[in-house]
Amino acid sequence: TITTTAIPNPVNEKDNNPSEHYSLYNSDSAYGIRNFTVKNANDSIPIFVEEIGDPKNPTVIFLHGFLYFRLIFNPVFKNEFLYKNFHLVRFDSRGVLDSGKPTDPNQYTLDHHAQDLKAVVDAITNANPGKKITLVGWSLGVAISTLYLGTFGQDKVNGFLTIGAKLESTAFDSTLLASIPQTTDYQEVIESRYASPNFLIGKDRPPLSEETALFFLGGTALTSTVYPKPTITSLLILHGGSDQVVPTIVSEHFLAEVKYGKRIVYAESGHLLFWEEPERFAKDLKEFVMFVNKKN
């Protein structure tokens, strides 16, 4: 049985008593969360990594999206069933929160992000020979995972789960910027993050609480705009039916193009479906991870 009852979901709540769900907004050790650092082999930028659960269990690596950070996955990391049955791993992209912040803009290409992911994957698989991991990418995290798979192959990966993904060769471009309300350039993306946070959730849902909106303030990452299509035998695409960032039809087209995998639409949710429907997401994640580990 999957349960998240111990951690109230703050999305769409007004925070009369923020302490009731404060655990979603921090990275404390009460849940057994551990951390370590890896370095990109090419430029030695340190990448801050967190993990929870027994490394002998199936491993799932989560990649966050544009302007966000590892704590965005707190609803997953603090789900009792998931951390007791799986080995969950997340990290901050370069330039974000606790990872290294190179001053050269040329060190923020998608290639650099994919190499950072490789450093994380290698650290885990080297410590557990023969292990394969499941990648979970949210938004821009899908582009990073896609480039990793296209560049380094799937020898160490048994499955790929995408959330709200724009699976085209335009990971960061004017289309993305134009999709964000009142935004026309990169600087305005940053300045409007708090002013218009509700574009992340389903358009018919109540506004985000102030505390949740503040939590979503994060770092930034520049990316290149070209990456190869993923080559992976097991693919699950999750998409919010009310996604205001990436239209649902995008994932429909992608599934038709690759001709394999499964697609699930969360009809009432937006770009942040794992916050909006945490129990349903946990169930879909559990079933997918168990399937790919049994298959492989």
d(CA 107, CA 78) in angstroms, rounded, equals 32
Query: Under the phi-then-psi rule, with left for phi > 0, alpha for psi from -120 to 50, and beta for the rest, what region is 236?
Result: beta
Q: What confidence tens digit (pLDDT) does each residue in 68-126 have?
A: 889 889 889 989 999 999 999 999 999 888 999 988 878 888 889 999 999 999 999 99
Question: Are residues 180 and 245 in contact, defined by beta-carbon separation less than 8 angstroms?
Answer: yes
Output the pLDDT for position 219.
Answer: 36
Q: What is the pLDDT of residues 138-183, one digit of tens each?
A: 988 988 898 899 899 999 999 999 998 765 544 334 444 344 444 4
How large a percentage of the chain has pLDDT more than 70? Answer: 65
> What are the pLDDT digits (tens) for 7-20?
334 444 444 444 44
SS3 of 50, please?
Answer: strand
pTM, to two decimals: 0.76
Please write the tens of the pLDDT for every residue from 225-255. 334 455 566 899 999 988 887 778 778 877 7
pLDDT at 189 over 60: no
- The span from the CA of 63 to the CA of 72, in Å, is 10
The more confident residue out of 259 and 291 is 291
Is 3.40.50.1820 the CATH classification of the domain at 18-295?
yes
116: helix, coil or strand?
helix
Q: With CA atoms as reference, report the closest residue to 156 among 172, 170, 165, 145.
A: 145
Per DSSP, 241 falls in state T
- Please report how many Cα atoms fall inside a 13 Å half-sphere around the Cα of residue 117, on the Cβ side: 32
What DSSP assignment string belongs to 119-172?
HHHHHHHHHSTT--EEEEEETHHHHHHHHHHHHH-STTEEEEEEES---SS-SS
pLDDT, mean of residues 181-199: 48
- Per-residue confidence (pLDDT) for residue 26, from 0 to 100: 56
Q: E-assigned strands of the chain? A: 34-39, 46-52, 59-63, 87-91, 133-138, 157-163, 235-240, 262-266
- Torsion angles phi and psi, residue 50, rounded to 5: -125, 150
